[in-house]
Amino acid sequence: MTSKQAVSIFSSGIFRVILPLIVTSVLIFSMMIINPISERNYILEPELSRDFFMDLIWFITLGWAITEIGIIISYYLDQWLPWVQFSVKRFFLQLFIQCVLVIAVMTSLWYVTDLVPPYYDGAENDWVGYRQMIFVSIVLSLIVTAVHIGSYLLLNWKNAIVEAAELKQTTLQSQLQSLKLQLDPHFMFNNFSTLSSLIAENQSEAQQFLDCLSEVHRYMLYNLERNVIPLKEELDFITSYIYLIKIRFSENLKIEVTIKEDLLNQGIPPTTLQLLIENAVKHNIASRSQPLHIRISSAGNTICVANNIQKLPSCIGSSKIGLKNIINRYKLLSAKLPEIIQTAHEFVVKIPLLPLKTSPNESTDYRR
């Protein structure tokens, strides 16, 4: 929101009517306090005379002028000397202009009304009232300006909060998108190696593997724009994925899935279970003599993925992209983070299930 927009909101509509009336009332009340005897009796026991109505018109005119001066000065100075960049210069310049214009308007009104007999009699004590009115008018003008500035700053503060929230949401979505894009190379590299071997050994099985790989890849592409999916969809995907990985490892890999049905409508980030299975396979021996056991089970409102530890003898450098990807996505989606537990014989990752928010128009069938 620009300063011009903030001014128009403050100075339009009901504010242009109510604010001058408030300033006029404060002016009259101030004169009652400054001159408690004469003014109070004059106000509380009014005579519906020409002088009374002239006084009322005079105060309303002055109240309107004070309000408009504050708004107009702020309007132009907001464009030439914004508060953010020139706060000190703006303060003193606005204070000076405000005082000069209020004194000029007040003096003009004072002398104009002297020309309308018998509004003022030109007595010397009128200058006391003049000085009093100058002081009250300047104070009220500064108060009006302070209200305007407060309104302007409040509007910009609210706008800044909205923009910050929108920027944060955009940043989070961008980070999530970046994290999701890490999945394809990590997943596809291992499976293309397997496919290459199958083509040379068994073309029929290679074709079946390719079809299943295509289904899995379609699932990953479909869920690229989704941050959280139903657990049931993830488990259906894992069934296809387990087929692929069993082709690679045969009976050297045992995967057991036991999930309570009442959890199937809970949410989970896409490909979370696939990454955990891939992580276990990547860092452990899976052979006929030392089969790798992976168990996917439910405990409370979490999914536990556990595998027996039998580290590969050769030291393989790892960026741990799978675990980092899962943890970073959870940081962006929830206050609940995955819990990693490692003992001498077992590696366990506990994945919290998330609330599922599905658009009513959103299809959940990635195979369409």
Q: 129, 159, 175: which is the final residue of a domain?
A: 175
Radius of gyration of the chain (CA): 38
Q: Of the segments 23-27, 84-88, 298-302, which one has the largest average pLDDT value? A: 298-302
212 and 309 share a domain?
Answer: yes
User: Average pLDDT of the chain?
Assistant: 76
132 and 274 share a domain?
Answer: no
167 and 194 share a domain?
Answer: no
Domain contains 197: yes
Report pLDDT digits (tens) over 332-357. Answer: 888 899 999 999 999 999 999 999 86
Distance in angstroms (rounded) separating the CA atoms of residues 22 and 7? 19
Distance in angstroms (rounded) separating the CA atoms of residues 285 and 179? 28
Domain contains 365: no
135 and 226 share a domain?
Answer: no
Q: 175, 204, 225: which is the final residue of a domain?
A: 175
Provide the pLDDT for residue 361: 42
Domain contains 89: yes
Q: 175, 202, 221: which is the final residue of a domain?
A: 175
Provide the pLDDT for residue 363: 46
Provide the pLDDT for residue 253: 93
The pair of structure tokens assigned to 215 is 């289904």
Report pLDDT digits (tens) over 162-204. Answer: 877 776 766 666 565 655 555 556 566 767 777 777 787 777 7
Q: What is the pTM of this model?
A: 0.52
Domain contains 311: yes
196 and 301 share a domain?
Answer: yes
Report pLDDT digits (tens) over 5-49. Answer: 444 445 455 666 677 777 777 777 776 666 654 554 555 555 555
Q: Of the segments 81-95, 132-146, 302-316, which one has the largest average pLDDT value? A: 302-316
What is the tally of structural domains in the chain? 2
Residue 218 predicted with pLDDT over 90: no
Domain contains 251: yes
Provide the pLDDT for residue 214: 83
160 and 191 share a domain?
Answer: no
Domain contains 277: yes
Domain contains 213: yes
User: What is the arithmetic mean of pLDDT over 119-139?
Assistant: 64
254 and 116 share a domain?
Answer: no
Domain contains 363: no
Distance in angstroms (rounded) separating the CA atoms of residues 328 and 337? 9
Q: Of the segments 34-38, 104-108, 151-155, 239-243, which one has the largest average pLDDT value? A: 239-243
242 and 136 share a domain?
Answer: no
242 and 167 share a domain?
Answer: no
Per the structure, the complete domain to which residue 213 belongs is given by 182-352
64 and 48 share a domain?
Answer: yes
13 and 142 share a domain?
Answer: yes
Q: What's the CATH code of the domain at 235?
A: 3.30.565.10
333 and 234 share a domain?
Answer: yes
